């Protein structure tokens, strides 16, 4: 565990992180806040909330920022979002730091004393809730950064805007939410318009490491829904109806042939996954309707448009050939997460300072998606990854994000605080 600040030469920029009074305050503050960050993380983990329902989490965050004497604390943005503005004692620009707050409809299987036992409603169903993607860590880290920077505000060259975002995982059916709605409601506007934004995500890699990638980093994502309408009949006489289950199976198989056989995957990867199938009530009744739900991941805009058209044509044609009907709905979730190359290269020495020598690694493309990309469409942004595997667990051996067994090593959280605090301060100093 890293518990004190060291002072490293910023080789890429030629700037030395001097051992002055400001840095001594920063060192002490990060050390002092570490236990609080872990405590906040455990509380939020034990009390997870689904997208657009992050009421208790938002209340905890807002009270914390207000208690720190932030210049402004805005609540209720994009339903439950919280935005805190901390103006430094020295003139300078504004930089934004973002953390997402929502949990997932997943039953926790990790044996922890603070494991979630929460049950909530999700799209009309009662579901268990868990921070299976690690957003509890993101919120706790940014709360820690807020306390660190508030304690040294007179030495800050500019303004830091703290964005606690709801519904990164996607708003419930029939609702808007997430980064796009926060932007629509003016989070990047006003008197303190940020000129850059930073965010992190905990990831199942070696604890305390930081991963990054300039340019395209995470995929664009679209929600896919296919309703197959057939004609109900007795299971013993399928010829008297139209079987939507068989048609749905054919569609699912054919969809996998699109990226594997119809797209030039040497130019960019693409993935189609069906994660939900609903249809029928009894084994001897062929239903009249089946619903498929899934996700589409792409990196190239032209390929995405071609892929979406092929999905529609494939599903509709297969259904029509069997006398059924396929209704295809595709809704965009997020564009590609693209790290500004210049900003990324400029801030790499900060990551090296935060994690230590040999702990910062360039990573390959990630098929996961992030609505942080909407912020990056407006201003330069840098999104990176904090390794949180248990000690001794190698990359690839730990449960992935969204798994009921997802685990975060709390020893790594202080590195997240160091990275986010360092990025804000260093950006404002270099700027």
Does 27 have pLDDT greater than 90?
Answer: no
Interatomic CA distance for residues 398 and 194, integer angstroms: 36
Does 23 have pLDDT greater than 70?
Answer: no
Banded model confidence at residue 78, pLDDT cuts 50, 70, 90: very high
9-218+336-430 shares its CATH topology with 220-334: no
Interatomic CA distance for residues 425 and 185, integer angstroms: 27
Range with lowest mean pLDDT among 5-19, 225-239, 254-268, 343-357: 5-19
Interatomic CA distance for residues 130 and 104, integer angstroms: 6
Dihedral angle sign, alpha carbons of residues 7, 9, 10, 16: positive
Q: Is 155 within 8 Å of 88 (Cβ atoms)? A: yes
Q: What's the mean pLDDT when you consider all of the chain? A: 93
260 C-beta neighbours (distance < 10 Å), count: 10
Interatomic CA distance for residues 302 and 307, integer angstroms: 9
Tokens of 357: 């020598």
Query: What per-residue confidence (pLDDT) applies to 231?
Result: 98
- The residue from 49, 100, 168, 222 that is catalytic is 168
- The residue from 100, 102, 136, 410 that is catalytic is 102
Active-site residue, 391 included: no
**pLDDT per position as a tens digit, 98-129:** 999 999 999 999 999 999 999 999 989 999 99
Query: If DSSP codes are grouped into helix, strand and coil, which group holds residue 364?
Result: coil
Query: What per-residue confidence (pLDDT) applies to 21?
Result: 63
Active-site residue, 397 included: no
Q: Is 234 within 8 Å of 386 (Cβ atoms)? A: no
Task: Give the residue-averaged pLDDT of 243-260.
Answer: 98
Does 251 have pLDDT greater than 80?
Answer: yes
Q: Give the closest residue to 122 by CA, choosing from 51, 176, 56.
A: 51
Tokens of 265: 């995957």
Q: Which residue has the tokens 């570490």?
A: 34
Query: What per-residue confidence (pLDDT) applies to 190?
Result: 87
Query: What per-residue confidence (pLDDT) applies to 22?
Result: 62
Kindly state the percentage of the chain with pLDDT values over 70: 94
Q: Give the closest residue to 165 by CA, choosing from 179, 152, 153, 150.
A: 179
Q: Is 411 exposed, middle or buried (0-12, 13-18, 19+ CB in 10 A)?
A: middle
The set of residues, in sequence order, having a beta carbon less than 8 Å from that of 197 and lying 6+ positions away, is 95, 96, 97, 98, 163, 372, 375, 376, 379, 380, 381, 382
pTM of the model: 0.91
More confident residue, 13 or 109: 109
Tokens of 101: 């707050």
Tokens of 374: 């909407």
More confident residue, 8 or 244: 244
Interatomic CA distance for residues 330 and 299, integer angstroms: 17
**3-state SS string over 291-315?**
EEEEEEEECCHHHHHHHHHHHHHHH
Q: Which residue has the tokens 């390794």?
A: 387
Q: Which fold has domain 220-334?
A: Alpha-Beta Plaits (3.30.70)
More confident residue, 4 or 353: 353
Interatomic CA distance for residues 222 and 297, integer angstroms: 7
Q: Which fold has domain 9-218+336-430?
A: Aminopeptidase (3.40.630)
Q: Residue ranges per domain, the chain?
A: 9-218+336-430, 220-334
Interatomic CA distance for residues 77 and 185, integer angstroms: 7
Interatomic CA distance for residues 295 and 304, integer angstroms: 12
Task: Give the residue-averaged pLDDT of 280-300.
Answer: 97
Torsion angle of C-alpha atoms 119, 120, 123, 124, degrees rounded to 10: 90
198 C-beta neighbours (distance < 10 Å), count: 25
Interatomic CA distance for residues 140 and 132, integer angstroms: 15
Please, which residues bridge with residue 232 across strands?
Answer: none
Banded model confidence at residue 25, pLDDT cuts 50, 70, 90: confident
**pLDDT per position as a tens digit, 388-408:** 999 999 888 999 999 999 999
Q: Which secondary-structure segment (H or E) carries 225?
A: strand 220-229
Banded model confidence at residue 26, pLDDT cuts 50, 70, 90: confident
Q: Is 165 within 8 Å of 96 (Cβ atoms)? A: no
Tokens of 270: 């693409």
């Amino acid at each position: 565990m890293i518990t004190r600040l060291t002072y490293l030469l910023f080789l890429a920029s030629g700037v030395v992180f001097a051992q002055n009074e400001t840095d001594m305050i920063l060192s002490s503050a990060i050390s002092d806040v570490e236990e609080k960050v872990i405590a906040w993380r455990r509380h939020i983990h034990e009390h997870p909330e689904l997208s657009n329902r992050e009421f208790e989490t938002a209340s905890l965050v807002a009270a914390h920022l207000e208690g720190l004497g932030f210049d402004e604390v805005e609540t209720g943005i994009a339903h439950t979002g919280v935005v805190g503005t901390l103006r430094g004692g020295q003139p300078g620009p504004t930089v934004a730091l973002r953390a997402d707050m929502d949990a997932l409809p997943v039953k926790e299987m990790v044996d922890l004393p603070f494991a979630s036992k929460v049950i909530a409603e999700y799209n009309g169903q009662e579901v268990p809730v868990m921070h299976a993607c690690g957003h509890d860590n993101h919120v706790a880290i940014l709360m820690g950064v807020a306390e660190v920077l508030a304690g040294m505000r007179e030495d800050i060259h500019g303004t830091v805007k703290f964005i606690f975002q709801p519904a990164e995982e996607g708003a419930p059916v029939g609702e808007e939410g997430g980064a796009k709605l926060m932007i629509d409601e003016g989070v990047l506007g006003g008197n303190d318009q940020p000129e850059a934004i930073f965010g992190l995500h905990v990831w199942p890699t070696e604890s305390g490491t930081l991963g990054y990638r300039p340019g395209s980093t995470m995929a664009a994502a679209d929600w896919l829904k296919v309703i197959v309408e057939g004609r109900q009949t007795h299971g013993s006489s399928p010829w008297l109806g139209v079987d939507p289950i068989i048609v749905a199976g054919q569609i699912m198989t054919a969809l996998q042939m699109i990226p594997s056989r119809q797209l030039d995957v040497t130019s960019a990867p693409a993935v189609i996954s069906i994660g939900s199938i609903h249809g029928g009530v009894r084994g001897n009744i062929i239903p009249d309707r089946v619903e498929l739900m899934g996700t589409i991941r792409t990196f190239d805009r032209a390929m995405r448009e071609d892929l979406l058209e092929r999905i529609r044509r494939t599903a509709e044609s297969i259904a029509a050939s069997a006398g059924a009907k396929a209704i295809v709905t595709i809704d965009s979730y997020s564009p590609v997460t693209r790290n500004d190359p210049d900003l990324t290269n400029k801030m790499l020495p900060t990551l090296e300072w935060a994690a230590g020598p040999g702990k910062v690694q360039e990573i390959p493309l990630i098929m996961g998606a992030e609505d942080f990309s909407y912020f990056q469409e407006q201003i330069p942004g840098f999104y990176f990854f904090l390794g949180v595997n248990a000690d001794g667990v190698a990359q690839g051996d730990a449960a992935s994000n969204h798994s009921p067994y997802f685990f975060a090593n709390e020893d790594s959280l202080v590195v997240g605080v160091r990275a986010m605090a360092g990025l804000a301060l260093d950006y404002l100093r270099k700027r």
